[in-house]
A = this chain, B = another copy of it.
Amino acid sequence: MSILTANPAPTATTSAGKLYRLGRIFGADGRTVVLPVDHGTMLGRVQGLEDPASLLEAFLPLGCDGFLLGPGLAARTAPSFASRNAPARLLTIDTYWRGEHSGEHVLMTSLAHAAALGVDAVKVLMPWDVPAEERAARSKLIGEVIVAAEPFGLPVMVEPICLAAPRPEHATQIEADGARMAAELGADIIKIMPPRDPSLLSDWTRELGVPIVILGGPAAGTAEELLEMVQDAIAAGASGITIGRRVWQRPLEQATELLSRLAEIVHPERSA
């Protein structure tokens, strides 16, 4: 069952270009395993991702559905994706920096550049544990990106998130409101931290009308805990995962094995 047949309503409102690209991100079962390697666009020289091009090359043969990466890496690694069997590419086009009193959210490349690179989607952050004024600015920027991406046929992935550490008390509620706002703005894919209570994720996947992929966050917990979290999320209706640090901040052999088991959970039909 593809994303087309799996989601009758959305495709009815999807242009030919978006439909083509969404079909490259989500497999025939309407699900996706995306490996994010874009952390340098906000976190600098992250442990385990010091050399993103090499890490990308190491994971390319493992059969991910897509990679999430920044514009510099996308340009430099274009040759690795220049074949019909290659994974999809989702381009992180923004960067966010939180100061003592406020945060600044900016685009670091253009939608025209994303289109020229031939990526299959663009991705923007939506920090939502922010003061009211910032929520307005975030909504405006994301709304503009969604409108501007339309004539390029580029789907937009939006990530509503609480960035404060430790996580604020009502983080899940804040992210639920952010996810709703992302859907109201017209996001094509929503990337979100799975709530502790899977029934809540189940509600979101039913209510938002947009494919939801879950994120992993900083490396924490055991591999078994991660696998269980993903199992629960898929059971609750999530359309896939974009988990990076909890995968590649391990020795390569372990990471490879883990990614393979995650893919089995997301795509049970493929491994059957």
Docked CA distance A252–B65 (Å): 33
A63 → B minimal CB distance (Å)? 10
A12 and B9 within 8 A (CB): no
Q: Is A78 an interface residue (CB 8 A)?
A: yes
Nearest-neighbour CB distance to chain B for A245, whole angstroms, equals 15
Per the bound structure, the CA–CA distance linking A142 and B135 in Å amounts to: 20
CB pair A53–B153 under 8 Å, yes or no, is: no
Whether the pair A113, B184 counts as a contact (CB closer than 8 A) is: no
Interface string of A28-45 (1 = CB under 8 A from B): 111000000010110111
Chain A, interface SS category: helix
Q: Among the listed B1, B13, B50, B108, which residue makes an inter-chain contact with A75, where contact means beta carbons less than 8 Å apart?
A: B13
Q: Which residue of the partner chain, among B5, B15, B22, contacts A116 with CB atoms under 8 Å? A: B15
Q: Is A219 an interface residue (CB 8 A)?
A: no
How far, in whole Å, are A115 and B117 apart by their CA atoms in the complex?
11
B185 near A136: Cβ-Cβ < 8 Å = no
Once the chains bind, are B177 and A76 in contact (CB under 8 Å)? no
Is A224's beta carbon under 8 Å from chain B? no
Q: Is A196 an interface residue (CB 8 A)?
A: no
Is A186 within 8 A of B81, CB to CB? no
Q: How does the 8 Å CB contact mask read for A114-152 relative to B, with 1 for contact and 0 for none?
A: 011110000000000001111111011011001100111
The stretch from A90-98, A227-235, A255-263 touching chain B is A90-98
**Smallest Cβ-Cβ distance to A152: which chain B residue:** B116
Nearest CB of B to A122, in Å: 13
Question: Using Cβ atoms and an 8 Å threshold, which residues of chain B touch A74?
Answer: 16
Binding site for B on A (CB under 8 A): 1-17, 19-24, 26-30, 38, 40-41, 43-45, 50-54, 65, 70-88, 95-100, 102-110, 112-113, 115-118, 131-137, 139-140, 142-143, 146-147, 150-153, 173, 176-187, 203, 206-207, 209-211
For the complex formed, measure the closest distance between the CB of A37 and the CB atoms of chain B, giving whole angstroms.
10
The reply to whether A50 and B203 form a contact with Cβ atoms under 8 Å apart is: yes
With beta carbons under 8 angstroms apart, the residue of B28, B150, B176 that contacts A44 is B176
Shortest Cβ gap from A127 to chain B (Å): 12
Task: For the complex of A and B, list the 10 residue pairs with the smallest distance between their C-beta atoms, beginning with the closest.
Answer: A23-B82, A44-B177, A104-B136, A7-B11, A108-B143, A97-B132, A13-B16, A106-B140, A116-B153, A16-B78
